[in-house]
Amino acid sequence: MVQSMSSLRTTGEEIEIVDQLLLPHIVRWVRVDTPAEAFDAIKSMKIRGAPAIASLASLSVARHVTLALSASPQPSWLATPSALTAHLSPILDNLLTSRPTAVNLSQALTRLRGVLARAEAGGWTGVQAAQAVIDEGKAVAEEDVGRNREMSRVGAEWLLAQLEAAGTIAPGEKINVLTVCNTGSLATSGYGTALGLITHLWETGRLARAFYTQSAPYHQGTRLTALELLTLGVPCTMLCDTMVGSLMQHFPVHAVAVGADRVAANGDTANKIGTYNAAVLAKRHGIPFLVVAPVSTLDPATLSGRDIPIEHRPPMEAVLARGVAYPPIAGKEQEQVVVQIAPPNISLEGIYNPSFDVTPAELITAVVTEKGVAHNAHGAGTIDLSSVL
């Protein structure tokens, strides 16, 4: 089997990430030594994807505490659980502000806070509390790959069963699936969510073709999903974000599978900008629309999509493009350039650049997690997520 891409890796206590701003032309591993560097990597989108940023943030805190434990002398904030909490709380608060829409980050940091609270309540030593924080931080990343494989299997099998039962496809027939943004190994600690489902279909001989949108303005589809699918040898076709309707008119698209940065209690889902457009068009064409995400992305405390904070990126990012020269310039084949594609006098106040939109539950056919499938069989305005939490 062809090795998939990876968003981060650890060697001992060292953490490295692939600088995704340079992909697909340059694969450069960058060390992340501190929580402050993790914040910068997440904020600048050198690493992105809700599960991946949660993993990096947690691992950076674990490394920070590990280095303190091995220091001589040890810092005073390791003396007691309360001192450790006082030291780590502002670090966790800062990491949380790096990407506010992705609930995985919040939940990972909440897990670390929970360890600190138990340590204080349980009368642990400072060293015991520190080791527990390290273990929890590493667990956040380690759990990701296994649950991604499970939700991909569960979702793929459920989708095929639904399509066969409806007579949309014959038993054993291969299907075409459209996805938005990048939800594979580069967005997680491994395998992926929605792209993991597509990968599972390919590995089991049930995928005819994967379609993926460019996902402007950051082009996560063009740069990252393309790279992952081509690396795996998956038959795939790219389309501009504005071509989704045309694709559905002229090609048999059997399903749309997307990831999520946050799923509210009623099933409303925040995901990469352009997801809502695809959901509206899927509804118009009678195409199943699946949200594939780990339980950690489900946020029962957020009642509906109206309550999800939506991150807005810097306006200039919407009018810049990064890549290599075409046709290639001899000796500079991998030299990246950034170009502005809007008039030089464009006003930043005149640029609308949200990173995410919210797809209402009524447009979502099912929410798939590692624990099962919440089916919205009748297009209700609310999806009962209790079975997959």
Catalytic residues: 261
Strand partners, 113: none
Q: Is 352 exposed, middle or buried (0-12, 13-18, 19+ CB in 10 A)?
A: exposed
**Two tokens, residue 376:** 């919205």
The answer to whether residues 313 and 327 touch, using CB atoms and an 8 Å cutoff, is no
Residues in Cβ contact with 109 at an 8 Å cutoff, skipping those fewer than 6 apart: 57, 58, 92, 95, 96
Amino acid letter, residue 346: I
**Two tokens, residue 313:** 């990126």
Q: Is 333 helix (H, G, I), strand (E, B) or coil?
A: coil
- CA atoms of 338 and 157, how far apart (whole Å): 42
Give the DSSP letter string of 56-116: HHHHHHHHHHHHHHHSSSPPGGGSSHHHHHHHHHHHHHHHHTSSTT-HHHHHHHHHHHHHH
Residues in Cβ contact with 71 at an 8 Å cutoff, skipping those fewer than 6 apart: none
Reported as half-sphere exposure (CB side, CA atoms, 13 A), residue 307 has a value of 13
The answer to whether residues 385 and 263 touch, using CB atoms and an 8 Å cutoff, is yes
Q: Is 313 helix (H, G, I), strand (E, B) or coil?
A: coil
Distances (CA, A) of 190 to 198, 274, 281, 356: 14, 24, 30, 23
